Amino acid sequence: MNLNNFTIKAQEAIQKASEIASGNQQQAIETAHILKGLLSVDENVISYLLKKLNVNINRISEVLDAQIQSFPKVSGSEIYLSSGANSALQKAVSYLKEFKDEFVSVEHVLLG
């Protein structure tokens, strides 16, 4: 998967997901890591939309944190995308084509 096809904000979210997994001594980046990364990126449309919809972002974050803590911990291994996370990002790329956009954005990643 070529991250050069992703917007800077989408790249930041995926990087943040990797940092979250690494910080929790987890080998696989899961979809929960990616969603947490999406919520962590400053000034993106996802957080804005959720706030406008009166979604409790803090509660979502708490649930994600609990889920992330339940993932297996591994030390000394290289981080990789889980099959679920990889499928979600592949789906995001398919939305890029479907919507005839030039880059995969955070909205595509959320939909994926």
- CB 21 within 8 Å of CB 36: no
Total domains in the chain come to: 1
Report how far residue 112's alpha carbon sits from residue 89's, in angstroms, rounded to the nearest whole number.
6
Separation CA 4–CA 92 (nearest Å): 14
Indicate which CATH number applies to the domain containing 51. Answer: 1.10.1780.10
The per-residue pLDDT for range 6-26, each reduced to its tens digit, is 999 999 999 999 999 999 999
Task: Report the distance separating Cα 55 and Cα 64, nearest Å.
Answer: 14
Q: Give yes or no for a contact between 92 and 9, defined as CB atoms under 8 angstroms apart.
A: no
What's phi and psi for 99, nearest 5 deg? -90, 0
Domain that holds residue 45: 3-111
The string of pLDDT tens digits covering residues 12-68 is 999 999 999 999 999 999 999 999 999 998 877 888 899 899 999 999 999 999 999
